[in-house]
Structure formats: structure tokens, C-alpha cells
Amino acid sequence: MSKASKHLIFRAYLIYFGFVAAMLVVLYYTVSLQFANKKNGEASLGSIKVRTVDRTPRMGEILDANLLPLVTSVAYYNIYMDPTVVNQKMFDAEVSALAEGLGKINPIKTAREWENQIRAARLKGSRYLIIKKLATNTERNQFRKLPIFSEGRMKGGIIDNEIIINRKKPNGDLLGRTLGYRKIIDGKVVECGIEGAFYNFLKGEVGAEVEQKISSGWRKTGQILKDAVEGADVVSTIEKEIQEVAHSELEKQLKEMDARSGSVIVMDVKTGYVRAIVNLSKNANGLFSENFNDAFGSLESPGSTFKLASLMAALEDKKITINEKVNAKGVYLIHGAKLSDSNHGIGYGEITIQQAFEKSSNVIAALMDRIYKNDPEKLMARLDAFGITKPLGIALTGEAPPDIPRPGDSRWSPLSIPWMSIGYGIRQTPLQTLAFYNAVANNGKLLRPQFVQEIIRQGESIKKFNPIVLNEQICSKETIAILKACLEGVMTRGTGSALSKPEIGSGYQCPQFKIGGKTGTTKLLGKNNEYLDENNSVYQASFVGYFPADKPQYSCIVVITDPKKEYYGAKVAGRVFVEIANKVWASSFDYHQAINAIKPTKIAPPVVKPGSKDDVINALKFLGLTYTQNQTGDWLSSITTESSIDLSKYLIYDGFVPNVIGMGAKDAVYLLESKGLIVQIFGHGAVFHQSVNPNTKLFKGGLIQLQLK
């Protein structure tokens, strides 16, 4: 082999092994970057310190049953500049124009001050000059279009990949406690409401990215090792319109009655889905807000609303008939204790048991004592079968278990049965009381109340929560029919009859349909755990029932604590119930028969989707269609009749989410992004659903999902 050949072979081997060595070095640093010093994720790449950190995903949204946002995640961005990467020629030519743009978008400094700061940072070799903290997505896009910045990160020096995601409740205090939160306080995880209970669905999957150590701390490099996966959306059972009605009606009555607090729950009879839940209590400033979920977290005596369970037990055990006569004499001496009817002990004379229930006479206490005093276990077995003595097992944390004494307990006495039968000596949450009444409305089927009906990810369902039956039949259908008649009788002949006859000038509207319900007026224990006289007592007024009575769709309970002006259940709580029922009835399509017009056989002009002015007019001209334009504007909508197409200005209000239903994807995305929203689209064709309701208050940086077909 010649000398020249040996030299060439040597050079070839040298190059080969040199290349292999270089690749091994690169591989070593890559592995070091991700796995070195696992305690804090830090590594060194030459003289530059880097570390791997979590990349936080955007949490999913909590939506109402109609996919309107109740809790959303709003994205903000920290904007920096690395002036050292900009070439000198571009820097000299465009830095003044960049500074002028910065002065307009972020006017905390003048254009001259911005230019001086950028030049100084370049001279110092500073690589992270703060431009703006917590910029919205709209501002971020504006920064990207400025001179120099438009060249991107590597040439223009803009660093805008540091994202901060904040949780927002677009409806303020509405549903605050039930929507809940998940926080870490003193190192401990504190979970509350829907967000706490369904956090594992909402949180998404954490990604990984690289940070670089600089003089002022750690900054993101833009190198993403693993993309974060956005959280799924939780579709609650709440209907925002019903929630707003329940909230406003309760708050109005709390103010009117100068009450301490109150709760409302509205439930779907057939599914157990909670459509509204309100908890309001008076603050030190005299205003009402959601401070605690009393609806399922606080126990109080149910009072006369418990008489329904007493009658159900006696009827099921064949101890009474509903038309059996009793002497409602007004004052009853039971085991040495005196008990009076609410009409100041006057009584009602000889009446049927149904009439006693309708008038809420306490003769029921004497009746139940006579029936069960020698066999209290039989009564308790019935209450167990009705599902009254156990928690409902709802998905949200904080449900208080019922407090009901049993024979053999230290609290049990000869007075336990008569007192229990009229709702004293026992304690329940409003939700537990409502679930029992809902079972009666549902022909005996006891359902677990639920607050979430579905989990969706990118428009696709990944989990559904079907109705959960706790007891298929809590009592016979014959007993249910009797009790339904009794509950309707309360409204026509009993303590609720005043609700059908509003006082002139009161502004109160009587029910627009039949209601089945029961009033309750409970005297609460005083500070020393004893009952006070009538003038010094604190009362709780309640009303629970369902509507419409002939075909129940919703059940509802209203509880108001410590009303000062009135304290009887019908006037205080019953009025709120009826106002809610009337408004829900008026807005529900299920109650009103549709009037279907006969479709015309004549061929009509095509429907024109809303869109940009130029696109709409060019399309009509291309198709040779005639039209009239009544107003001018950048965006147009149309009214198409049998013979004409009338174009008018498409109304878009500042500060509110535009209506893009019917638009094509191009126009919809352009319009929404121009308002600062982040848009996700699913499907093809025209928009038929938008996740944020039109004319909702705008949150720049918020996510809106569009479904097309």
C-alpha cells in the first residue's frame, strides 16, 4: 500500500471517530439536560445552567347543562425581549419604530423611554428585558406585529411563550360555593365543590420544558420536551337561567324579610340532576353572598315538612286511613309535655287526617305517638326504607349526615316519636329533605342528587353520569297517590292556599299551574340549646314541593333562616318557590305546545350566512341574486323572505362575545380572534354551536370552542 493511500485511510478514520465523538457529546448533554441532578431537574450545558420544569396545562372549563361557561381558564403571557439577537443593521433601522409601537400598546413608558431602555439592555447584554407582564392574547398578537418583533424569537428577540393561566368565574358570585375550588393551603390540599370533586378530569396532563439560568433568575427557553395536555371540560347539571332566577328571587326575599340566610335547590324530578343551588348569607356589610353550602352542609330541624314521612310510614303500615277522623283540639298533652297548633291553640275540631296534614295540625304528633310508642323500631325501619336516615352520598364533599336518634340512644325518650313526627328532635340538610319529596313526585323512585352530567374533551364525550337510583320504590304506588293528593290539598285548602290568592298591590304573582308542596315553620334552639318564647324565638321558614303537580318536572326547596318581618313558611319561603316556578314555567319549551306553520312549497332564495361585507356581496353577485342593503358595516347579516334578501349591519358589541352561529369557520375565527379570544374548532361547515354564549361579557385570552357541521 502506498504512502498516499495510508494517509487517506488515516484521515477517513480520523473523521469517522471524530464524528462519533461529537455525537456522543451531544447525546450526553441531551441526557444530562433531562435526567441529571434529578432532585431539582438542573444540569449544566457548558457554562449555561438549564433545568427541566413542568409545563402547566390549561385546566378544563366547568360548563352549565347548555354548555355555557361557569368557570373558565383565561391565558395571560409575560412578554420579554432579547435585544442581543437582533442584527445591527435591523436594530439601527427599526428600533425607533419598535419603541413607538411599544409606547402605544403598553404606555407605561414613552417611545423615547422604551428606546433608551432597549439600547441600554443591548449594551449590557441583557437577554430578558421585561416588555409586559400578564399581557392578554390580543396584546400578545399586537406585540408580534411590531417592527423587529415580527421577525420572531431567533431574529427579532421577542420571547412570549411564558403563559400564566388564571381561573375566572364569568358570572361573579353566582353558584360560588358549588363551583368550588382546589387550593393548597399550608401544604395541604383543600378541595371544595365541583372543581375539587372533579379536579382529576379538569387538571389535564403536565408537560415538560426547559428553563435557563440568567442573572435575575430562571427563564423559559422555548424548548418543549413534552406538550401539556389540556384538561377535559366538566358539564354540570346546572341550568344558568334557572340558577339566575333562583339566586335573584332568594336574595330579594332575604332583603325584604331582613333574614340572616337562605338556600334554594331546584332538581329535575326524573333524573335527580340539580338545576340550581343557591346559598346566601348576610355579611358584616349587610350584603348577601355565598359563604357556605348550607344546602347540603348544614343540619336543621325540618319542622312540618317531615310530616309527609310520618304519614307515609303510618299509611304503609296500615295504621291509618287518610279519611280517618281525628280531634284537632288545638292543645295536646303528650307524656307531660304541652304542644299547641300554630293557630294559637284554637285547633280545627274534628277533621280528617288529610285535612290535618293540609292545615299542618300538630295532632299528627299525638296520632303518631299512639301508633308507634310501643313499637318504635317499626317506625325507624320505615324511615330507613324511605332513605331518610342515611346520607345521599353525593359526589361533592361536605354533605352532613342526617342526625336522627334511635331507640337505645342517650337522646331517646318517650317524646322522641311525637316530636320526630312533626320534624323536631331530628336534623337534616335541605338537600336530603328535597330528595325525599322528589321521590314522591317521581312516583316513589329515590334518586341521588347529581351536580355533573358529562365530561367532554374537544367536543367529544368521554364519560356520562346517568341517573343513580337509590331505591326503586320507597313505598307503594297507592300511598304515593294519596300523598300527592295531600300535597296538592295544601295549596288549595291548607297552609299554602294563601299563595293562590296574592294580596292586592303586593306585586306577587299566583302560580300559573298546579303545585304540590308543604310549608314548614320551625322554631330554632336558642344560644343555651333551649326553645324561647314566641317573641324572642328565631324561626326558620321553608317550603318544599314540585311542579307542575299533574306532570312533575322540577322539585324545589326554599329555606330562609331568621326572617324578621314574617316567619310562616308560606309567606316567607313559599313566595320564593312560586316566583321561581312561574319564571321557569314561562321559559320552558316543555310546558308550551309548539305551533307549527305549514312550510311553503314555493322555492325561496337561499339563506345567507352572516359574514364580512365583501364576502357576502361578492357571493350574491356571483350567483346572480338580487338583494337590498339597508345598512353599511364591515359585517353583514341577512333576512331572507320568500322573495327577497335584505342585508343589514351585523351588530357586534364592544366588550361582549360576538354571535358567530351560522358563520363559516374563516369568518368566525377571524372575528373571535380579533376580540382577543383563543378559538378551537371541531368539524366542518358552518358554526352551529359556540361554547361561550353570544353577548356574554368578554374575557380576553379566554377559550371558545366552535362546533361546525
Same domain, residue pair 620 and 580? no
| Per-residue confidence (pLDDT) for residue 1, from 0 to 100 | 56
Strand-pair category, 538-547 with 554-561: antiparallel
Asked whether residue 218 is domain-assigned, the answer is: no
Asked whether residue 184 is domain-assigned, the answer is: yes
Residue that the C-alpha cell 330528595 belongs to: 435
pLDDT band at 382 (very low <50, low <70, confident <90, very high): very high
CA diameter of the chain: 133
Asked whether residue 596 is domain-assigned, the answer is: no
Between 12 and 390, the more confident residue is 390
Planar angle of CA 458, 228, 194, nearest 5 degrees: 60
- Phi/psi for 414 (5° steps) reads -60, -20
Between 62 and 612, the more confident residue is 62
The pLDDT mean for the chain works out to 87
Report DSSP state, residue 635.
Answer: E
CATH number (domain holding residue 325): 3.40.710.10
| Per-residue confidence (pLDDT) for residue 622, from 0 to 100 | 75
Same domain, residue pair 28 and 106? no
| Per-residue confidence (pLDDT) for residue 16, from 0 to 100 | 72
| Per-residue confidence (pLDDT) for residue 287, from 0 to 100 | 93
Strand-pair category, 188-192 with 274-282: unpaired
Residue-wise pLDDT for 499-525, tens only, equals 877 654 455 567 878 999 999 999 887
| Per-residue confidence (pLDDT) for residue 6, from 0 to 100 | 64
Same domain, residue pair 69 and 26? no
Residue-wise pLDDT for 279-323, tens only, equals 999 999 999 999 999 999 999 999 999 999 999 999 999 999 999
Same domain, residue pair 314 and 438? yes
Report DSSP state, residue 559.
Answer: E
Strand partners, 687: 708
Same domain, residue pair 448 and 474? yes
Q: Quote the cell numbers at residue 60.
A: 378544563
Between 655 and 8, the more confident residue is 655
Helix, strand, coil percent content, the chain, rounded in steps of 5: 35, 30, 40
Q: Which of 273-287, 454-468, 590-604 has the lowest mean pLDDT?
A: 590-604
| Per-residue confidence (pLDDT) for residue 71, from 0 to 100 | 94
Asked whether residue 600 is domain-assigned, the answer is: no
Asked whether residue 215 is domain-assigned, the answer is: no
Q: Quote the cell numbers at residue 167.
A: 381561573
Residue 209: Cβ within 10 Å count: 21
Cβ(43)–Cβ(33) below 8 Å: yes
Question: Containing domain of residue 89, as a range?
Answer: 54-208+223-234
Same domain, residue pair 29 and 72? no
Cβ(591)–Cβ(519) below 8 Å: no
Residue-wise pLDDT for 114-142, tens only, equals 999 999 999 999 988 999 999 998 999 99
CATH number (domain holding residue 115): 3.90.1310.10
Strand partners, 523: 539
Residue 687: Cβ within 10 Å count: 24
* Residue 20 host element (H or E): helix 3-35
Q: Quote the cell numbers at residue 72.
A: 373558565
| Per-residue confidence (pLDDT) for residue 600, from 0 to 100 | 47
CA 631, CA 637: separation in Å to the nearest integer?
10
Please tell me the number of Cα atoms within 13 Å of 393 on its side-chain side.
9
Asked whether residue 597 is domain-assigned, the answer is: no
Extended strands (E) in 615-702: 628-629, 635-640, 645-649, 678-683, 687-690
End position of a domain, from candidates 50, 65, 88: 50
Q: Which of 230-244, 543-557, 567-581, 651-665 has the lowest mean pLDDT?
A: 651-665
| Per-residue confidence (pLDDT) for residue 504, from 0 to 100 | 47
Contacts of 93 (CB under 8 A, 6+ apart): none
Percentage of the residues of the chain whose pLDDT score is greater than 90: 59
At residue 573, what is the residue type?
A: A
pLDDT band at 38 (very low <50, low <70, confident <90, very high): very low
Residue-wise pLDDT for 47-104, tens only, equals 678 888 888 788 999 999 999 999 998 889 999 999 999 999 999 999 999 999 999 9
| Per-residue confidence (pLDDT) for residue 25, from 0 to 100 | 62
Q: How many domains does the chain have?
A: 4
* pLDDT greater than 70 at residue 37: no
Task: Classify residue 571 by burial, with Cβ atoms within 10 Å: 0-12, 13-18, 19+.
Answer: buried
CA 501, CA 497: separation in Å to the nearest integer?
7
**pTM over 0.85, yes/no:** no
| Per-residue confidence (pLDDT) for residue 308, from 0 to 100 | 98
Cβ(705)–Cβ(687) below 8 Å: no
Asked whether residue 383 is domain-assigned, the answer is: yes
* Exposure string for 272-300, b = 16+ CB within 10 A, e = fewer: bbbbbbbbbbbeeeeebebeebbbbbbbb
CA 32, CA 51: separation in Å to the nearest integer?
10
Between 464 and 128, the more confident residue is 464
Same domain, residue pair 121 and 256? no
Same domain, residue pair 186 and 263? no
Strand-pair category, 678-683 with 703-708: parallel
Same domain, residue pair 356 and 486? yes
Same domain, residue pair 30 and 67? no
Same domain, residue pair 520 and 624? no
Cβ(558)–Cβ(250) below 8 Å: yes
Strand-pair category, 460-464 with 452-457: antiparallel
* pLDDT greater than 70 at residue 402: yes
* pLDDT greater than 50 at residue 235: yes
Between 271 and 529, the more confident residue is 271
| Per-residue confidence (pLDDT) for residue 610, from 0 to 100 | 77
Strand, coil or helix: 664: strand
Q: Which of 36-45, 597-606, 669-678 has the lowest mean pLDDT?
A: 36-45
Same domain, residue pair 558 and 410? yes
Asked whether residue 595 is domain-assigned, the answer is: no
Between 60 and 643, the more confident residue is 60
At residue 455, what is the residue type?
A: I
